[in-house]
A and B are shown apart, each in its own frame.
Chain A
Amino acid sequence: MRSIVKAVGLNKYYDQFHALKDVSIEVEQGEVLCIIGPSGSGKSTLLRCVNQLEKIDKGGLWVDGELVGYRIVGNKLHELNDAQIARQRLSTGMVFQRFNLFPHMTALQNVVEGPIQVLKRSPKEANEEAIELLARVGLADKRHSYPVELSGGQQQRVAIARALAMRPKLMLFDEPTSALDPELVGEVLSVMRDLAHSGMTMIVVTHELGFAREVSNRMVFMDGGQIVEAGSPEDILISPQNPRTQSFISAVRT
């Protein structure tokens, strides 16, 4: 299997706070990796480093075989410019906790924005594909609605369609159901489940342990900026070895 994401000794600081401590991890093509852990454990930071919403202070990260954010010159890493970083981001799609749909655009406009403006594809083709994507997330009939007119679950599904429209090789989900009312969580998880079954490589930061167990190939438990434990969903959820993992799992379960 080909690795899509490879992180080696990642370190990230916010001023004095050491948010990521020597994190190394690899994600292979077609794999679904779920990251769990208490808030402040660095799981979202790790995810945001992958598509460069956060800058890495030390270590290296490769996405689809390409070193992210830097160019190697001799034994130094030179920062890439804005356009190069933007191009690198094209290989990943991101879904945010707070959806972050563009409020001044309809659902359809949100989905075609990237293909037309960034990928310079023909509007006709982009529109057709966007409608297909909206149908895939069950919202073809809502394509002319503005985000304010949609429920949280619908907004998040449009956000997934928007990310998919860029034809990414990797999808990142940053607590995609945490901002949703309980009755709306299911519809978003079901879209994500379909996506996972279609073979998309996914990294999901989540608190939905049931979903993680069902869909993920591998799970990682993070705490204090470190990967504490990694393994199959059964390893992590049913027979965790590390005491910190054990106490987190039992706290979430109850």
Chain B
Amino acid sequence: MNQNQAERLQAERKKIENEFDITQYEHVPRRYYGRIFFATLIVVALAGLARAFANGQIEWGYIGQFLTSEAILWGLLNTIIMSILAMLLGVIIGVITAIMRMSANPILRYVAITYTWLFRGTPLILQLLLWFNLALIFPVIGIPGLFQLDTVSLMTPFVAALLGLSINQGAYTAEVVRAGLLSVDTGQYEAAKSIGMPRLQALRRVILPQAMRVIIPPVGNEFIGMVKMTSLASVIQYSELLHNAQNIYYANARVMELLIVAGIWYLAVVTVLSFGQSRLELRFARGAGKRS
């Protein structure tokens, strides 16, 4: 830039500044009266709610007492075990179903589609009852000539709950996994092949780690959902948290107190899980660019 041009730019700037000389004025932020009004309203409502609970006929002492009682803690442990096992099995079923669903073989594909349709299309509680009562139609199960088992003794509440929850979960997870696999660019398959990877290795080393970024948030949500869905297993006598809490209040009639106890534990488990989920998401976000 030469001397002349610089001077001209300077002169132009001066002219503009003289014309609109508000450069020294103070900026006053706008006030949001609507927001202030509604925030006040909510605070008042919450205060009323707190007062109602404080004056309600709740024996707070019972809650503290039963929170760590043996039956409740056993129920909690059973809930956690069932959530983990059912979710694990559900994810395995889901991955297999997703891969079947994307197969070129029409039989594999349609079996996967039908499975998803059937188990997403019926209520979970109905499925649990079906598994639990399987002995009514099949007194013995097994492979003819190989082994046979008495259905009643096999289909304990634990087994029925595990089958019901995981097979139902698998149908949902299959769709999540499929979306995850489809989200990976076909160029990634080609690049993996081009360095000599067979299909399974490409899936394990290249495709799945990238699909995980898409899969983890919804599967995390479903895990949280699973923790709460295990409570449905109380209808088939699986002694999880809610079932044990109910057993106690059938005896002592402290219904609300025990429901609150169960609620506190469900919340605690879910909180821990949410924390774990965000850690896992960070891990699989490697190389995914900077995002908030």
Contact = CB atoms under 8 A, between A and B. Distances in A.
Interface stretch (A11-19, A28-36, A62-70, A89-97): A89-97
A163 B194 contact: yes
B198 interface: yes
Interface string B132-146: 000000000000000
Contacts of B284: 104
A89 B209 contact: no
A147 interface: yes
In this complex, which of B191, B206, B210, B288 has the most chain A Cβ atoms within 10 angstroms of its Cβ? B191
A1 interface: no
Given A98-B187, A113-B205, A103 B288 contact: yes
B67 interface: no
A154 interface: no
A53 interface: yes
Contacts of A89: 193-196
A83 B195 contact: no
Given A102-B206, A103-B210, A105-B287, A118 B197 contact: yes
Interface in B159-216: 185, 187-188, 190-199, 201, 205-206, 209-210
Contact of A104 (B197, B201, B209): B209
A181 interface: no
Nearest to B188: A100
A82 B199 contact: yes
Interface residues of A, number: 34
A53 B189 CA distance: 10
A51 B210 contact: no
Nearest to B192: A102
- Tell me which of B205, B209, B287, B288 has the highest count of chain A C-beta atoms within 10 A of its own C-beta: B287
Interface string A34-77: 00000000000000000111000000000000000000000000
Contacts of B289: 148
Given A147-B287, A148-B289, A162 B210 contact: no
Nearest to B206: A102
Contacts of A101: 191
Interface string B208-236: 01100000000000000000000000000
Contacts of B199: 82
B47 to A, nearest CB: 49
A224 interface: no
Contacts of A93: 194-195
A100 B191 CA distance: 6
Given A82-B199, A96-B187, A104 B287 contact: yes
Contact of A86 (B187, B198, B287, B288): B198
Interface of A: 51-53, 82-83, 86-87, 89-90, 92-94, 96, 98, 100-106, 113-114, 117-119, 146-148, 159, 162-163, 165-166
17 contacts: A51-B194, A86-B197, A89-B193, A89-B195, A89-B196, A92-B194, A100-B188, A102-B191, A102-B210, A104-B286, A105-B287, A106-B287, A114-B195, A114-B196, A118-B197, A146-B286, A148-B287
Q: Which 5 residue pairs across A and B have the least CB separation, nearest first?
A: A114-B195, A146-B287, A100-B191, A94-B194, A100-B187
Given A100-B190, A103-B210, A119-B196, 5 more contacts: A51-B194, A101-B191, A102-B192, A106-B287, A117-B201
